[in-house]
Amino acid sequence: MSRKSEKSLFFVYTPPLLGVRKSRRKAPQPGNKTAERWKWSVFYYWWEYLRRHEGYRQTCEAGGIGRFAKLYADFGDVHSCDFWSWWKSHSHLFSEPEARKAEPFDPSDMQEDDQGDFIYIRIPRENQLKHSLTQVTRIVKRRLVKRDSRKIVTQARYKVATKPLLPSLDMHLRVWDARRDNPDSTLEELADIAEVSINHVVNGETLAIRAFNRYPDDDIRKVLKRRKELAVQRHLRIAEQYIQNVAERETFPLRSSR
């Protein structure tokens, strides 16, 4: 079966975009406001997290042979090309199946499973087309309004598990990369390298205010240091879970139950 062109694909969640395209869809909150617009997509982060999985890297280096051969058959070598080259040939993995078309049918062919999925309408042959279309529109609009108001359930081959928070996906990955690139740095140093945001208010005052008022600040520095350490530990833990699961399951982002 031939693949549909990228323009005809439909995604429940915003796909990566090059340039500006007209869309009624609300733009997602960017993971990094300084990043290119095409990175404002959960599918970009799906690719990035998979690239961090060591086992999948080994399968790629072996040409698709290894523990993750089945996944490789779908995703291919994510290390041998840039994101856009990969996306153009793999975007169909995340798109919805082609919508079923309206067509004539024989009532004798109707299956029990079809009864809840279709609206059946009898149209008298003697009526004028314009009149019949008006009637059909009225009936269909009334029957579909409840269905349209419900959340779309994805039927894509690879599914987005929950509504993705791109800033969180970006921060988890930045902290993980910071540790990879700076293995000897402390947790506090990693927080500064990755620009992890923490609450700087302690007992109603910030470090800057205490310094200005010449108050002892050893206690507040200890609190902030601990907050940075806890934040980095949390980001690393979640990043590790995402990286492991992205190669072992068909949904993303998904954390372990442990």
Tens-digit pLDDT profile for residues 150-159: 566 788 999 9
Beta carbons of 16 and 95 less than 8 angstroms apart: no
* Preceding amide of 253 cis, omega within 30: yes
* Sign of CA pseudo-dihedral 153, 156, 157, 159: negative
Q: Which residue has the tokens 């060591």?
A: 54
Q: Which residue has the tokens 């961090």?
A: 52
Higher-confidence residue of 54 and 28: namely 54
Under the banding of pLDDT at 50, 70 and 90, the label for residue 22 is: low
pTM of the model: 0.76
Under the banding of pLDDT at 50, 70 and 90, the label for residue 216 is: very low
pLDDT at 170: 95
The answer to whether residue 1 scores a pLDDT higher than 50 is no
Rounded to whole angstroms, the Cα distance separating 224 from 191 reads: 11
Q: CB-based contacts of 120: which residues, under 8 Å, 6+ apart?
A: 107, 110
Q: The tokens of 228 are what? A: 């940075």
SS3 3: coil
pLDDT at 71: 97
Q: CB-based contacts of 109: which residues, under 8 Å, 6+ apart?
A: none
> What angle separates helix 218-248 from helix 166-181, to the nearest 10 degrees?
100
The phi and psi torsions of 251 (rounded to 5 degrees) equal: -130, 155
Query: What DSSP letter does each residue of 128-185 carry, written as one string?
Result: -HHHHHHHHHHHHHHHHHHHHTSPPPP--SSEE-S---HHHHHHHHHHHHHHHH-TTS
pLDDT at 29: 72
Rounded to whole angstroms, the Cα distance separating 60 from 38 reads: 25
The answer to whether residue 57 scores a pLDDT higher than 70 is yes
Find, among 6, 47, 57, the residue nearest to 158 by Cα: 47
pLDDT at 185: 97
Q: What percent of the chain has pLDDT over 70?
A: 74
Beta carbons of 177 and 48 less than 8 angstroms apart: no
Bridge partners, residue 206, by sequence: 201
